């Protein structure tokens, strides 16, 4: 039996005085008087426990602010941008000079049905990752895929500064071959200078060694400018985690845009997102600064590798003449077909390559063809 019921029963049913009941049960006479008065006014409802919630809450977030929080969330989410509580707090700070706590914004978004609570994730304190100390200390690059409105698959090369997360380049091409990578790389280095080191995966356009093709033009250009090259461990994309994460952020935004009908339209979209990402969007890993702000905040690192003169590209390749009378050779990450003649179909040959000068001989040493490769043509016809 609750104390409330005990006190009321002792006064109302047993007929004892309020002072006596208060003294016997160790409570104040004023509280006994309140309970008895409540019982006489409300009946049995007086036995139910009362909420201790205050009638007013001076610190409660005003409805207008809650509405603005929801509005910003819908605006950012609808455009494919990050719409979390910390990002909303950043925008409120920019608009008004102050904002509710991030935890408060989360509670408002949850109460309004804007977010679905998720299980707790692994704490950030348990993460182990590398972060460059200076801008241009290391760039990361990777190629990802996208689809145009007509269903055509295209490729996008994204380049990220490891320290500031600045997107130094986001370029689209039908196929991101050696020429397309070289063009994108030259644009980035013209705008931001050369990084001290450059990290990629082991794709054919980035690393020619695993395929026995010598150095790619990408590698030659960077090494000639004293940039240290780094390649991730095969089948371990976490090494290039920052640019992999950028792929996700970019694609989330692209999904909310009208499907591009051409490479040029897609490039316009990439340029628009890159400007927003670099100059407007607050980045969680940067203490809610923008990448452009973080990039400008510190002195830039410069290439420090020993001066290297890239030597002549030479190798020997063994191939079999196909039914069409051709053999293949990869030059600067681009595959070329070299005409030998149908009468040699099925023969095994050796290609002696020195830069663009090529001699094709049989295994017995007979010269079948000598040519200077034309890099602009996929097929090198017989004269």
228-241: average pLDDT: 70
117-145: average pLDDT: 74
Lowest mean pLDDT among 34-38, 145-149, 370-374: 34-38
25-45: average pLDDT: 84
201-208: average pLDDT: 81
Asked if residue 238 has pLDDT above 70, the reply is no
Q: Which CATH number fits domain 314-380: 3.40.50, 2.40.128, 1.10.10, 2.30.30?
A: 2.30.30
102-120: average pLDDT: 76
Asked if residue 269 has pLDDT above 90, the reply is yes
- Residue 104 token pair: 């408060």
Asked if residue 116 has pLDDT above 90, the reply is no
Residue 237: what pLDDT?
A: 54
Other CB atoms closer than 10 Å to residue 273's CB: what's the count?
Answer: 21
216-243: average pLDDT: 77
Counting residues of the chain whose pLDDT is more than 90, the rounded percentage is 33
Question: In which order are the strands placed within the sheet that holds 167-173?
Answer: 167-173, 153-161, 139-147, 197-200, 228-231
Band of pLDDT at residue 130, cut at 50, 70 and 90: low
125-139: average pLDDT: 75
Band of pLDDT at residue 312, cut at 50, 70 and 90: low
16-26: average pLDDT: 85
Asked if residue 107 has pLDDT above 50, the reply is yes
How far apart CA 33 and CA 18 sit, in angstroms, is 7
Q: Spell 112-130 as b/e; 16+ CB within 10 A means b.
A: eebbeeeeeeeeeeeeeee
Residue 162: what pLDDT?
A: 92
Lowest mean pLDDT among 73-77, 149-153, 274-278: 73-77
2 three-class SS: coil
Lowest mean pLDDT among 155-159, 189-193, 261-265, 355-359: 355-359
Asked if residue 335 has pLDDT above 70, the reply is yes
Asked if residue 62 has pLDDT above 90, the reply is no
DSSP letters for 71-98: HHHHHHHHTTS---HHHHHHHHHHHHS-
Asked if residue 310 has pLDDT above 90, the reply is no
Asked if residue 25 has pLDDT above 60, the reply is yes
Band of pLDDT at residue 187, cut at 50, 70 and 90: very high
More confident residue, 353 or 134: 134
Asked if residue 321 has pLDDT above 50, the reply is yes
Asked if residue 357 has pLDDT above 60, the reply is yes
Name the nearest CA neighbour of 38 among 71, 5, 82, 70. Answer: 5
Residue 1: what pLDDT?
A: 46
C-alpha Rg value of the chain to the nearest Å? 35
Lowest mean pLDDT among 1-5, 52-56, 157-161, 176-180: 52-56
Domain boundaries, the chain: 3-47, 63-118, 139-281+290-296, 314-380
CATH topology of domain 139-281+290-296: Nucleotidyltransferase; domain 5 (3.30.420)
Q: Is the C-alpha dihedral spanning 152, 157, 160, 162 positive or negative? A: positive
pTM: 0.57
Residue 295: what pLDDT?
A: 93
Residue 127: what pLDDT?
A: 46
Burial of 327 (0-12, 13-18, 19+ CB in 10 A): buried
286-300: average pLDDT: 87
- Residue 259 token pair: 């499907």
Band of pLDDT at residue 306, cut at 50, 70 and 90: low
Within 8 A by CB and 6+ apart from 144, the residues are: 155, 156, 158, 247, 250, 251
């Amino acid at each position: 039996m609750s104390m409330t019921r005990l006190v009321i029963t002792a006064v109302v049913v047993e007929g004892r005085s309020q002072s006596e009941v208060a003294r016997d049960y160790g409570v104040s006479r004023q509280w006994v008087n309140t309970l008895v008065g409540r019982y006489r006014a409300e009946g049995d409802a007086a036995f139910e426990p009362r909420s201790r919630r205050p009638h007013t809450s001076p610190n409660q977030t005003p409805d207008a602010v809650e509405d603005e929080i929801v509005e910003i969330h819908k605006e950012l989410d609808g455009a494919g941008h990050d719409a979390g509580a910390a990002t909303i707090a950043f925008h409120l700070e920019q608009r008004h000079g102050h904002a509710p706590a991030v935890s408060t914004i989360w509670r408002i978004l949850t109460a309004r049905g804007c977010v679905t609570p998720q299980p707790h994730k692994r704490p950030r304190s348990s993460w182990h990752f590398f972060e460059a100390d200076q801008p241009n200390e290391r760039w990361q690059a990777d190629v990802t895929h996208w689809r145009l409105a007509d269903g055509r698959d295209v490729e996008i090369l994204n380049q990220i500064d490891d320290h500031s997360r600045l997107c130094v380049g986001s370029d689209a091409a039908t196929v991101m071959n050696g020429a397309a990578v070289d063009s994108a790389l030259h644009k980035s280095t013209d705008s931001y200078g050369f990084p001290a080191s450059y990290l990629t995966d082991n794709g054919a356009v980035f690393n020619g060694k695993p395929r026995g093709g010598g150095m790619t033009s990408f590698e030659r250009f960077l090494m000639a400018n004293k940039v240290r090259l780094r390649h991730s461990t095969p089948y371990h994309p976490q090494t290039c985690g920052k640019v992999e994460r950028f792929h996700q952020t970019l694609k989330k935004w692209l999904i909310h845009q009208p499907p591009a009908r051409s490479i040029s339209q897609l490039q316009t979209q990439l340029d628009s997102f890159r400007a927003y990402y670099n100059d407007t969007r607050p980045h969680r890993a940067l203490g809610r600064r923008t990448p452009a702000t973080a990039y400008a905040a510190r002195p830039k690192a410069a290439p420090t590798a020993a001066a290297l003169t890239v030597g002549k590209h030479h190798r020997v390749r063994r191939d079999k003449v196909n039914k069409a009378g051709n053999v293949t050779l990869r030059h600067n990450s681009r595959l070329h077909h070299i005409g030998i003649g149908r009468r040699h179909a099925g023969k095994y040959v050796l290609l002696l390559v020195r830069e663009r000068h090529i001699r094709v001989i049989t295994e017995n040493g007979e010269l079948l063809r000598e040519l200077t490769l034309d890099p602009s043509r996929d097929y090198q016809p017989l004269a």
